[in-house]
């Protein structure tokens, strides 16, 4: 934040101003949006900051955003294309084999979000 400033001095200054920081060990942070979508942050760095009676969280990490809404049905070709696209997405995001991605999609009833959570 301030180049050349000793971290211990910085902590002392923050304490004098009534600011406290606490690192929180976390594996994953999930933010559920109003539209049904989710923001998933894997391997996050989470810092809880208490200042003037309020608590704030600073989160950084690998972000995956999943769009919300209902799965629209179409003709057979569109459904197959969506499934293949979902399998490719799962393989890329979860670093898994095609068979594992297919099984997770089947188990979740075609729900990409649930399949992603199952694999991670």
Please check whether residues 65 and 54 belong to one and the same domain.
yes
- Among the candidates 53, 69, 85, a domain finishes at 69
- Indicate if the pLDDT at residue 33 is higher than 70: yes
Q: In this structure, are residues 92 and 103 in contact, taking their beta carbons and an 8 Å threshold?
A: no
Tally the domains of the chain.
Answer: 2
Q: In this structure, are residues 49 and 55 in contact, taking their beta carbons and an 8 Å threshold?
A: yes
Please check whether residues 65 and 35 belong to one and the same domain.
yes
Using one digit for the tens of pLDDT, what is the confidence trace for 59-88?
Answer: 888 888 888 754 333 333 333 345 777 788
Please check whether residues 42 and 29 belong to one and the same domain.
yes
Other C-beta atoms lying within 10 Å of the C-beta of residue 39: 14
- Indicate if the pLDDT at residue 43 is higher than 70: yes
- Among the candidates 52, 69, 86, a domain finishes at 69
Structure tokens at 68: 């919300």
Residue 56 sits in which domain range? Answer: 15-69
Please check whether residues 60 and 81 belong to one and the same domain.
no
pLDDT of residue 25: 92
Mean pLDDT value across the chain? 77
Query: Which one has a higher pLDDT value, 97 or 13?
Result: 97
């Amino acid at each position: 934040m301030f180049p050349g400033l000793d971290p211990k001095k910085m902590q002392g200054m923050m304490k004098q101003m009534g600011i406290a920081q606490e690192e929180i060990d976390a594996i994953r942070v999930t933010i559920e949006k109003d539209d049904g979508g989710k923001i998933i942050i894997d391997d996050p760095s989470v810092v809880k900051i208490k200042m003037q009676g309020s608590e704030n969280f600073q989160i950084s990490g690998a972000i995956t955003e999943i769009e919300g809404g209902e799965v629209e049905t179409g003709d057979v070709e569109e459904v197959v294309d969506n499934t293949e696209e979902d399998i490719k997405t799962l393989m890329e995001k979860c670093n898994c084999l095609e068979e594992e991605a297919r099984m997770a999609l089947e188990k979740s009833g075609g729900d990409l979000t649930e399949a992603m959570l199952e694999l991670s």
